Amino acid sequence: MHGVEPSLAALLGGNLNTAFQDSGRFGGVISSADVQAMLSHEQQAQALGCDDTSCIAALGGALGVPLLVVPSLGRAGGRFILNLKVIAVEEAETVARLTRLYKNEASLVSEMESVGSGLASMIFGEKSNLPALPPLIQDEVKSQMPQYLGAGMALVGTVSFVSSYFIANASQSTFDNTANKDSQAVDALLGNQTMVTGLWGGGLLLGLSGAGLLSWGLMQ
């Protein structure tokens, strides 16, 4: 595997094994982890440098299996190149070969079980029924809308909260400087205080809600 995360390779290997098992064409399927457990350290070291058919067939003979799937996965130019070949151990020859090119990881993962089923069909001389080109699956893009909305709410809430302070001071100052503090002046002061209370409470609530939404968006 070249330029590919081990976790991705393990996931793909598991999907292939599942597809082979579900095909019902094989008496048993062993994974790469099973192979490592069955081989000695010396045989594992030998397997690392094993790339020709006869060498791989000898490895399959040591495992006691009739067929051996040899995968190769690389990455070039942002694309994934998957090569699979199946070797008949006793005959020491390749009985099936498959190459697929994927534009992204999502497309690669989504088709892996179909690839396994198709390869199983090819082993028995049947068509794989795979499309000429793999389907393009768009990578999931995390929406940043909650972050933008939360930041906007927090900003508006903060402005409202701060504005209430200045409006309250200005209103009180105007009332204090009014020579004739009649009922009209008192009503104006009370009206401003009501508005200030609304701005203060609404701004605080909006600011806290926006901050919470922003934090939630960043954690997604």
pTM of the model: 0.57
Structure confidence at residue 59 as a pLDDT band (50, 70, 90): confident
Give percent above pLDDT 70 in the chain: 85
Distance CA 13, CA 15 (A): 5
Q: Say what the pLDDT of residue 98 is.
A: 93
* Edge-to-edge strands, sheet with 79-88: 67-76, 79-88, 93-102
Residue among 187, 183, 184 nearest 195 (CA): 187
Residue type, 113: E
32 in Cβ contact with 71 (< 8 Å): no
Pairing of strands 79-88, 67-76: antiparallel
Q: What are phi and psi of 47, to 5 degrees?
A: -65, -30
Structure confidence at residue 118 as a pLDDT band (50, 70, 90): very high
Within a 10 A sphere around the Cβ of 24, how many other Cβ atoms? Answer: 7
CATH of the domain spanning 6-123: 3.40.50.10070
Structure confidence at residue 142 as a pLDDT band (50, 70, 90): low
86 in Cβ contact with 15 (< 8 Å): no
Q: Say what the pLDDT of residue 143 is.
A: 59
Give the domain ranges of the chain. Answer: 6-123, 145-219
Distance CA 5, CA 182 (A): 79
Q: Say what the pLDDT of residue 95 is.
A: 93
Structure confidence at residue 46 as a pLDDT band (50, 70, 90): low
- Half-sphere exposure (Cβ direction) of 195: Cα atoms closer than 13 Å: 15
Residue 59, token pair as written in the block: 């490895």
Within a 10 A sphere around the Cβ of 16, how many other Cβ atoms? Answer: 23
Distance CA 220, CA 71 (A): 34
